Amino acid sequence: MRELERSSGVLLHLSSLPNKYGIGTLGKDAYDFVDFLAETNQRLWQILPIGPTGYGNSPYQSYSVFAGNLLFISLELLVEDGLLAEENLLEVPEMSDKRVEYDLVMDEKTVLLRRAYEAFRSNFDDWKEEYYTFLGEHSWWLTDYALFRALKSTDDDLCWNEWPEKLRNRDAHELDVAMLEQDARVNFHRFVQFVFFRQWFQLKNYANSKGILIFGDLPLYVSLDSSDVWGNQDIFLLDEKGQMTHVGGVPPDYFSETGQYWGCPVFDWDRLAEREYDWWAARVHFNLRMFDLVRIDHFRGLESFWSIPASEKNAINGEWWPAKGFEMLSLLKSQLGYLPVIAEDLGIITPEVEELRDAFDLPGMKVLQFAYASDETNVNLPHNYGSNFAVYTGTHDNDTTLGWLKTATKEESDNLKKYFNTSWSNIHRALIETAWASVAKIAIVPMQDLLELDGKHRMNTPGTVHNNWEWRMEWKMLKKSHKDFLVELTKKYNRRLKV
């Protein structure tokens, strides 16, 4: 993909799509959402990370940076493929259409995927050519991941660093024995990934045929409890027992007075350099096949990162340590020629971070909810930034715009009234229009903001673990007036889809 022209899009995670089986999937409603984007002349569909999640359900804490989340597999498409019977779907209990009930969805979907796997095995000759092609392309990461998930399911879901020493340290003989013992479970997880990627690329190809680009999200850090860390222990700061010595996070900021303690391992950048950044290169190449462009979350961590001793309870007592992002990005640019990457450069940004971003001509991010807390010099105000940015009313970590307006400080309220010559009730739409009118090459609105939803529909509250990542859209929320508004803005400010 070459450099984006002036364009716009919508942020909506797959989990938030409508679907009667408890969570959004890669099925019909995803295709309908692509059609909605095309009808309203949008160019981009931005989503959150799509990997398999564990406790807390955060897409930023995944068991693998390569695998797909089985929750997003469409049961209806499995029926169309002959891997499930229509009556199987009648056994799924009724679930909320307003929030994702992760545990219930996981239990029910796993049962049905096991049935689909048995049908797949019974009719393997019909699938073997496509399946073996998939394995040939993905075994370099899939073998470790499938074994990792199999071992977790037989060992009380323990983190890999609590496994027996030889497995923890990846003794070659012990791994061979485990592969033989876990053969059935390993092959089930291989099948799940085969189905996920099959459905994913069918959807992506459809979106691309409509002129819609999929805008993915690449978290800087990975979960300790992941096949990635288990398989690459040397590139993370761990002790001899696989325990973290330091963890990632950010110092106190807008979101938290004690900072954010993410509890994930930080990189050993010297070791990454010795390995010529092979893991990072594989990850970025993989993501740029999955998506048309990606956002690197917490981009500033490629210049320097907030390293917190693992023994700390919060993020206050950390230190900034240098990273080697310039060398790593230089390698990737030499391989790719052009980096279709957006830099999430929010928070404490130094001139060095800006220099790293600009050295590779990467668009940064601006968030309008941050623009009115100070005076006219605020860097998030559209009159203070150039075109090489993606502007948002808010991100998945913000309250909805309507929710934010209801809780705005007096200073924010006063500044908003000065900035917009409109009634307070229309400011949420004025903010979206301001994003579209700005010189930023990309403008993105979260679906909740387009639908004019209040803070009850917020996606995530940083620093908390409950009631996050559960919001779901219902088609009845989307009115003709919302579509007309989006079409009008996109035409008025020259962001129309060009196919």
Taking 60 as the threshold, does the pLDDT of residue 18 lie above it? yes
Q: pTM for this one?
A: 0.96
Region 462-489: mean pLDDT is 95
pLDDT digits (tens, 9 = 90+) for 68-103: 999 999 999 999 999 999 999 988 887 878 899 999
Q: Is the pLDDT of residue 155 over 80?
A: no
212 vs 153, higher pLDDT: 212
The amino acid sitting at 438 is: S
Q: How far, in whole angstroms, is CA 281 from its chain's centroid?
A: 18
Active site residue 397: yes
pLDDT value of residue 93: 83
Model confidence at 349: pLDDT above 60:
yes
Q: For 316-372, give the DSSP string.
A: TT-EEEE--HHHHHHHHHHHHSS--EEE---SS--HHHHHHHHHTT--EEEEGGGTT
From the candidates 29, 76, 303, 397, give the one annotated as an active-site residue. 397
Selected catalytic residue, list 29, 76, 344, 452:
344
306-337 pLDDT tens trace? 999 999 999 999 999 999 999 999 999 999 99
Residue in 120, 83, 110 with CA at minimum distance from that of residue 21: 110
**Is pLDDT at 146 greater than 70 in this prediction?**
yes
What is the average pLDDT across 406-425? 93
Domains of the chain listed by start with CATH number: 7-67+199-492 (3.20.20.80)
Q: How confident is the model at residue 1 (pLDDT cuts 50, 70, 90)?
A: very low
Report the C-alpha dihedral over residues 130, 131, 135, 138, rounded to 10 degrees. Answer: 70
Q: Is 371 helix (H, G, I), strand (E, B) or coil?
A: coil
Whether 137 sits among the annotated catalytic residues: the reply is no
What count of Cα atoms within 13 Å lies in the side-chain half-sphere of residue 91? Answer: 12
For 249-297, what is each residue's pLDDT tens digit?
A: 988 876 678 988 999 999 999 999 999 999 999 999 999 999 999 999 9
Average pLDDT, integer, range 166-172: 97
pLDDT at 2 over 60: no
Catalytic residue among 297, 345, 433, 452: 297
| C-alpha distances out from residue 234 to 108, 121, 221, 238, 379, Å | 37, 38, 15, 8, 39
pLDDT at 485 > cutoff 60: yes
Residue 414 among the catalytic residues: no
- pLDDT tens digits for range 351-402: 999 999 999 999 999 999 999 999 999 999 999 999 999 999 999 999 999 9
250 and 278 in contact (C-beta within 8 Å)? no
Candidates 107, 369, 111, 124; CA nearest to 255 is: 369
Task: Please calculate the CA angle 95-100-103 and round it to the nearest 5 degrees.
Answer: 80
Lowest mean pLDDT among 11-20, 340-349, 447-456, 472-481: 340-349
Task: Give percent of the chain with pLDDT exceeding 90.
Answer: 90
**What does the pLDDT read at residue 321?**
97
The number of angstroms, rounded, from the C-alpha of 366 to the middle of its chain's C-alpha atoms is: 18
Q: How many other C-beta atoms lie within 10 A of the C-beta of residue 140?
A: 11
Q: How does the average pLDDT of the chain come out, rounded? A: 95
